[in-house]
């Protein structure tokens, strides 16, 4: 996967002192504290941290689903502007997300055909003939090893979790976004399906050159897929850099502890480090 350090393209998303505060007074939570990042074209990034560290909050700010309390987000070198509905729609053509629970992000009452058709229409394919649309949907399904013929006229809840997760990737195949945020895409599947999903996402990255931001607490996954890794603790990045440096030669105590707690197969997994 990472035989050689790939050359980084130009910056697509740059965060400067990004902060998110929820609530105020007694309920005030500073979920993200002055974080800085720079994600490049075609780069695979992992944001790693324990539960509640603020990973999803960063994702939601980048997606424009929640406001940024403080700081600047640059998209392609320009301050991101989603102040009008039109600009927002334009931005969302560039950025997409897949989530841990694929069922949560689909409208249960839309058939799978419509779901895939929407993707084609959203990316300027409205004028295409039915035959062309059919071919595109068939291609997208076969990319993720699903058979389109077996999905027509079905609803999302008729599929298994693994099939749904692959359907999410078929959607991304049609949408071809510049940036994909994958928030714990494999935390509900077994190790085998994890390998399948990662394989498909990386193939897609190679094919359309998109930037992928993995949000995960799976440190093995972060090491395997990423060019760069950001380690997050209590809302702040404690360490960031090339995957090899951060995971194999961690500097921060927090990163060291996190990595030492993951079960190993070559080195020793030292149980005496926990109380």
Partner 1 sequence: MGKVMLEVNDLKTKYVTRFKEDVYAVDGVSLKIEEGKSLGVAGESGCGKSTLALSLIGYYFAPLHYMSGEIIIDGQNISGMKPDEVRKKVLGTEVAYIPQAAMNALNPTQKIIRFIEDVIQVHDKSLSKKDIYDMAVERFRILGLPPEVLQKHAVELSGGMKQRTVIAISTILSPKVLIADEPSSALDVTSQKMVIKMMRELMEKGFIKSMIFITHELPLLYNVTDDIMVMYAGQIVEHGTAKEMVFDPVHPYSKGLMGSIIVPEEGTRDVQLEAIPGTPPNLKHPPDGCRFAPRCKYAKPECKVYDVPEKEFEGHRMYRCIYDVDYLKEAYGRNG
Ligand X SMILES: Nc1ncnc2c1ncn2[C@@H]1O[C@H](COP(=O)(O)OP(=O)(O)OP(=O)(O)O)[C@@H](O)[C@H]1O
Report the interface residues with ligand X, using CB under 6 A. Answer: 22-23, 29, 31, 49, 51-57, 190, 217
Segment contacting partner 1 by CB under 8 A, of 72-80, 104-112, 133-141, 219-227: 219-227
User: Taking the complex as a whole, how short is the minimal distance between the CB of residue 112 and partner 1, in angstroms?
Assistant: 18
Nearer to Mg ion, 183 or 227 (CB): 183
Q: How far apart are CA 17 and CA 235, in angstroms?
A: 12
Closer residue to ligand X in complex, CB, 19/56: 56
Binding residue (CB under 8 A) for partner 1 from 95, 169, 198, 232: 198
Q: Which does 275 bind (CB under 5 to 8 A by kind): partner 1, ligand X, Mg ion, none?
A: partner 1
Q: Which does 23 bind (CB under 5 to 8 A by kind): ligand X, Mg ion, partner 1, none?
A: ligand X
Where in 36-65 is the site for Mg ion (CB under 5 A)? 56
Q: Which is nearer to Mg ion, 95 or 112 (CB)?
A: 95
And the tokens for 147?
Answer: 């058979």
Give dist(CA 36, CA 119) in Å, integer. Answer: 32
Which listed residue (11, 29, 69, 193) binds partner 1 by CB under 8 A?
193
Stretch that binds partner 1, among 68-76, 116-124, 188-196, 206-214 (CB under 8 A): 188-196
274 is a site residue for partner 1 (CB under 8 A): yes
71 lies in the site for partner 1, by CB under 8 A: no
Which three-class secondary structure string do you get for the chain? CCCCCCCCCCEEEEEEEEEEEECCHHHCEEEEEEEEEEEECCCEEEEEECCCCCHHHHHHHHHCCCCCCEEEEEECCEECCCCCHHHHHHHHCCEEEEECCHHHHCCCCCCHHHHHHHHHHHHHHCCCCHHHHHHHHHHHHHHCCCCHHHHCCCCHHHCCHHHHHHHHHHHHHHHCCCEEEEECCCCCCCHHHHHHHHHHHHHHHHHHCCEEEEEECCHHHHHHHCCEEEEEECCEEEEEEEHHHHHHCCCCHHHHHHHHCCCCCCCCCCHHHCC
Residue 100 found at the interface with Mg ion (CB under 5 A): no
The owner of tokens 């069922």 is 103
Nearer to Mg ion, 184 or 239 (CB): 184
Shortest Å distance, C-beta 135 to ligand X: 34
Cα-flanking dihedrals φ and ψ of residue 15, to 5°? -105, 135
Would you mind telling me the total number of residues written for the chain in this entry? 275
- The reply on whether position 259 binds partner 1 by CB under 8 A is yes
Cβ closest to ligand X, residue 200 vs residue 232: 232
CB of 29 to ligand X, least distance (A): 5
Instruction: By CB under 8 A, name the binding residues for partner 1.
Output: 1-3, 50-51, 145, 160, 162, 189-196, 198-199, 217-224, 243-244, 247-248, 257-259, 261-267, 269, 271, 273-275
């Amino acid at each position: 996967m990472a035989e050689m350090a790939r050359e980084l393209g130009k910056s697509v998303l740059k965060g400067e002192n990004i902060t998110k505060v929820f609530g105020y007074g007694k309920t005030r939570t500073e979920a993200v504290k002055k974080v800085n990042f720079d994600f490049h074209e075609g780069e695979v990034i992992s944001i790693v941290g324990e539960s509640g560290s603020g990973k999803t909050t960063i994702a939601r700010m980048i997606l424009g689903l929640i406001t940024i309390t403080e700081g600047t987000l640059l998209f392609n070198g320009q301050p991101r502007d989603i102040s009008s509905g039109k600009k927002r729609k334009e931005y969302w053509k560039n950025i997409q997300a897949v989530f841990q629970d694929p069922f949560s992000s689909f409208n249960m009452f839309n058939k799978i055909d419509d779901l895939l058709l929407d993707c084609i229409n959203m990316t300027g394919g409205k004028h295409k003939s039915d035959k062309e649309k059919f071919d595109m949907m068939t291609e997208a399904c076969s990319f993720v090893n699903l058979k389109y013929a077996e999905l027509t006229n079905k609803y999302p809840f008729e599929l298994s979790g693994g099939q749904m997760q692959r359907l999410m990737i078929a959607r991304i195949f049609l949408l071809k976004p510049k940036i994909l945020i994958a928030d714990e895409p494999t935390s509900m599947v077994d190790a085998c399906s994890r390998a399948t999903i990662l394989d498909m996402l990386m193939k897609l990255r190679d094919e359309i050159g998109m930037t992928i931001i993995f949000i995960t607490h799976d440190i093995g996954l972060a090491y395997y897929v990423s060019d760069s890794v950001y380690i997050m603790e209590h809302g702040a990045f404690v360490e960031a850099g090339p995957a090899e440096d951060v995971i194999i030669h961690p500097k921060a105590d927090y990163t060291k502890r996190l990595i030492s707690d993951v079960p190993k197969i070559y080195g020793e997994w030292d149980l005496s480090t926990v109380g």
